[in-house]
Chain A
Amino acid sequence: MFELAFSSLWSRRGSVLLTLASLTISMAIVIGVEHVRAQAESSFVRTVSGVDLLVGARTSQINLLLYSVFRIGNATNNISWQSYEDISARPEVSWSIPFSLGDSHRGYRVLGTTARYFEHFRYGDSEALRFSEGQPFTQVLHAVLGSEVANALDYAVGQEIVLSHGIGNTSFVNHENLPFTVSGILAPTGTPVDRTIHVSLQGVEAIHLGWQNGVQVAALSPGRDDPRLAELQPTQITALLLGLETPMAVFGLQRAINNYPREPLTAILPAVALGELWQIIGTLESLLSVISILVLTASLLGLSTMLLSSLRERRRELALYRAIGARPLFILWIIELEALSLTVMAAAMGYLVVTAGFAVTQSWLSENFALVIEVWPSTPGIWLYMGGAIAASVLLTLIPAGIAYSRSLGHALQSS
Chain B
Amino acid sequence: MSTISIENLRYTWPGSDLPALDIAGFRIDQAETVFLRGASGSGKSTLLGLLAGTLTAQSGSLQILGTELASLSPRKRDRFRADHIGIVFQQFNLIPFLTVAGNLRLAARFSGKGRRYIGDQSAHLLESLNLDPALLQRRADRLSVGQQQRVAIARALINEPELLLADEPTSALDADARDAFMSLLMSIRNISNCTMIFASHDRSLAKYFDTEVELATLNAAQAREPDLV
User: Interface on A for B, CB 8 Å cutoff?
Assistant: 3-4, 7-8, 10-11, 316-317, 320-328, 410-416
Point out the residues of chain A lying under 8 angstroms from B89, CB to CB: 323, 413-414, 416
Flag whether B134 is at the interface (Cβ < 8 A): no
Alpha-carbon distance between A72 and B89 when the two chains are bound, in angstroms: 80
A11–B167 touching, CB < 8 Å: no
**A4 CB, min distance to chain B CBs, angstroms:** 7
Pair B228/A415 contact, Cβ less than 8 Å: yes
Closest to A409 in B: B74
Q: Closest Cβ of chain B: how far from A407's Cβ, in Å?
A: 12
Residue contact B97 to A411, C-beta cutoff 8 Å:
no
- Surface stretch bound by A, among B48-56, B188-196, B207-215: B48-56
Report the bound CA distance from A324 to B110 in whole Å.
7
| Docked-complex contact A412 and B110, CB < 8 angstroms | no
Say which size band chain B's interface belongs to: 35 or more
Say yes or no: A412 contacts B87, CB within 8 Å. no
17 contacts between A and B (CB under 8 A): A3-B102, A7-B97, A7-B102, A10-B97, A320-B93, A320-B94, A320-B95, A323-B81, A325-B82, A325-B83, A327-B74, A328-B74, A411-B55, A412-B49, A412-B55, A413-B45, A413-B49
B26 contacts chain A at the CB level, 8 A cutoff: no
Contact B96 A416 (CB under 8 A): no
Closest 10 CB pairs of A and B: A325-B82, A325-B110, A11-B97, A412-B49, A415-B228, A412-B45, A316-B92, A327-B78, A7-B97, A324-B107
When distances are taken between beta carbons in the complex, the residues of chain B under 8 Å from A326 are 78, 110
Residues of B within 8 A of A324 (CB): 81-82, 87, 106-107, 110, 155
Give the docked Cα–Cα distance between A158 and B217 (Å): 111
Given contact pairs A323-B54, A324-B87, A327-B74, A414 touches B92 in the complex (Cβ within 8 A): yes
Please indicate the chain A residues that have their CB under 8 angstroms from the CB of B110 in the complex: 324-326
B41 to chain A, nearest CB (A): 12
A4 touches B167 (CB 8 A): no
- Cα(A321)–Cα(B94), bound, Å: 9
Q: Are A416 and B91 in contact (CB under 8 A)?
A: yes
Contacts of B83 in A (CB 8 A): 325
**Residues of chain B contacted by A321 (CB below 8 angstroms):** 95, 106
For B75, the closest partner residue in chain A by CB is A327
Query: Which residue of the partner chain A has the closest CB to B79?
Result: A325
Complex Cα gap A412–B41 (Å): 13
Known: A7-B102, A323-B52. A416 touches B229 (CB 8 A): yes
Residue of A nearest to B171 (CB): A416
Identify the interface centre among B56, B79, B111, B167: most chain A CB within 10 Å of its CB.
Answer: B167
A315 smallest CB distance to B (angstroms): 10
Distance from A244 Cβ to chain B, minimum over Cβ atoms (Å): 70
In the complex, A410 Cα to B155 Cα: how many Å? 23
Whether A411 touches B49, Cβ cut-off 8 Å, given contacts A323-B54, A324-B110, A324-B155, is yes
Q: Which residue of A lies closest to B81 (CB)?
A: A325
**Chain B positions 163-197 with a Cβ under 8 Å from a chain A Cβ:** 165, 167-168
- Rounded to whole angstroms, the CA-CA distance of A151 and B81 in the bound complex is 77
Given A4-B98, A326-B78, A415 and B106 contact (CB-CB distance below 8 Å): no
Given contacts A323-B54, A323-B89, contact A7 B49 (CB under 8 A): no
Minimum CB–CB distance for B120 against chain A, Å: 20
Which residue of the partner chain, among B54, B78, B91, contacts A413 with CB atoms under 8 Å? B54
List the B side residues contacting A415 at CB < 8 Å: 45, 228-229
- Chain B residues with Cβ below 8 Å from A4 are 95, 98, 102, 106
In the complex the two chains form, what is the Cα distance from A323 to B55 in whole Å? 11
B157 to chain A, nearest CB (A): 12
Give the chain A neighbours of B5 by CB distance below 8 A: none
Interface members, chain B 128-152 (any A CB < 8 Å): none
The reply to whether the CB of B3 lies closer than 8 angstroms to some CB of chain A is no
- Does B63 lie at the interface of the complex (its beta carbon under 8 Å from any beta carbon of A)? no
